[in-house]
Amino acid sequence: MTMHTTKSDETIVAQVKAGDADAYATLMERYEAKLIRYVVYLIHDTVSAHDVVQDTFIKAYQNLQAFNPKYKFSSWLYRIAHNEAMNVIKKNRHITDYDIETLPEAGYDQRLEELIDNDALKAHVHECLDKLDVKYREVIQLIYFERMKYEEVSDVLHIPASTVGVWASRAKAKLKNICEQKGVKR
Amino acid sequence: MKQQDTTSISTSVMDKIKNGKVHMRPRLYYAALSIVTIGAVILSGITVTYLLSIAFFWLRIITSDTMAYGARANFNEAVASFPWWTLALAALLLTAAILLVRKQGRIYKHKTSSIVILIIISSLVLGFGLSFVVMDPHTPGVNDRPGQGWREKR
């Protein structure tokens, strides 16, 4: 398995397509933790998030022949996770904030703090993010937590890159507002 | 705990793959889906364009300076023989085409408003053009059909 670790995702996908099913485990190892974090922030339920991630990996495997290696595998995988998470959100409108608070502090891009211009945000960023609409929260999460470029976010959310920019800008403004309302001061 | 959960997901998925409970769909499936998508797009395009060409032809008749008897006869003939079930087919094909293209293509890279404007403009242009070619009485051969003798040949 270690022999796959230096290979790109797309190379491993080609191996899996060619019949090396074991190589798929490497891809799962690379993305499990990231996807769990991503999905927990979307649906606020750790148990369901694990189910969503498992379904994501199964669907990704089933549809691997549809993946175009010209594009990034990670964006394609996140898109599947996004769809699965949205299905859960549609089914369960009543979600709690409990699970999101129990998550370990994930590293996020320092630009988020700079943009919000708030030192105290570091301790409260998840709390503030939690109050954002799902679509804005997801954009912030993908850009600043998953460190994706606008083009990649566009592939995950299936919206034009220009719209990603607009949503990110609105999300930052709203996030700043929420943090101020919650009493998070400089 | 987290590591354990994470490992259990990988193990569970790999078990399903190795036990044959999860299969990779063959390329043929996606090739067939692409053919259906392209077919739906082409058919819906043709149907919508033809419907628009009839609408434009009617508009040209009612805005004509003359009575346009020949054109009216052709229009009535077209409407009488028009298979109206194609309206339902067009709606169905359009829905299928949109869903399939959205699922498979990368059309989302462009703004929805731009795509809608492009589709509307191209349909209007094609429909307008087709209204001259298909049903216009001035089109060579249109008035030469048997049973059209009461009309003056030009």
* Backbone CA torsion sign across A105, A143, B11, A84: positive
CB contact under 8 A, A58 and B22: yes
Domain limits at B105?
25-139
Query: Structural domain tally of chain B?
Result: 1
The answer to whether position B149 is within a domain reads no
Q: Which of B19, B33, B109 to mutate to test the interface with A (most CBs of A within 10 A)?
A: B109
- Which domains are seen in chain A, by residue range? 8-94 (1.10.1740.10), 104-186 (1.10.10.10)
* Residues B58-82 pLDDT 10s: 888 888 877 778 888 888 887 888 7
* Residues A62-112 pLDDT 10s: 999 989 888 899 999 999 999 999 999 888 764 544 444 444 445 555 555
Lowest-confidence pick of A10-14, A33-37, B131-135? B131-135
DSSP string, B44-103: HHHHHHHHHHHHHHHHHHHT-SS--HHHHHHHHHHHHT--THHHHHHHHHHHHHHHHHHH
CB contact under 8 A, B25 and A63: yes
Place of tokens 């990670």: A74
Distance from CA of B110 to the nearest CA of A (A): 6
- pLDDT for res B69: 80
pLDDT: which is higher, A115 or A134: A134
Indicate whether A19 pLDDT > 70.
Answer: yes
For residue A107, the Cα-to-chain-centroid distance in whole angstroms is 13
The answer to whether position B74 is within a domain reads yes
The answer to whether position B119 is within a domain reads yes
The answer to whether position B45 is within a domain reads yes
The answer to whether position B20 is within a domain reads no
- pLDDT for res B148: 47
DSSP string, A78-101: HHHHHHHHHHHHHH-----SHHHH
How far is the first Cα of chain B from the last one, in angstroms, to the nearest whole number? 88
- pLDDT for res A73: 94
Q: Which of A13, A17, A31, A32 to mutate to test the interface with B (most CBs of B within 10 A)?
A: A32
d(CA A163, CA A78): 18
Instruction: Name chain B contacts of A17, Cβ cutoff 8 Å.
Output: 24
Chain A contact for B16 (CB, 8 A cutoff): yes
Q: How confident is the model at residue A58 (pLDDT cuts 50, 70, 90)?
A: very high
Chain A contact for B103 (CB, 8 A cutoff): no
The answer to whether position B154 is within a domain reads no
d(CA A175, CA A23): 40
Indicate whether A123 pLDDT > 80.
Answer: no
Instruction: Name chain A contacts of B27, Cβ cutoff 8 Å.
Output: 65
Q: How confident is the model at residue B17 (pLDDT cuts 50, 70, 90)?
A: very high
The answer to whether position B49 is within a domain reads yes
Of A28, A154, A162, the CB nearest to B10: A28
* Residues A128-145 pLDDT 10s: 888 888 889 899 889 988
The nearest alpha carbon in chain A to B23 belongs to A62
Q: Is the pTM of this model over 0.80?
A: no
Beta carbons within 10 angstroms of residue B130's beta carbon: 19
The answer to whether position B107 is within a domain reads yes
Interface of A with B (CB under 8 A): 16-17, 21-22, 24-25, 28-29, 32-33, 36, 50, 53-54, 57-58, 61-66, 104, 154, 158-163
CB contacts under 8 A, B 20-59 vs A, are 22-27, 29-30
Q: Give CA separation, A64 vs A14, A17, A151, A153, B1, in Å.
A: 9, 7, 21, 20, 30
CB contact under 8 A, B25 and A50: no
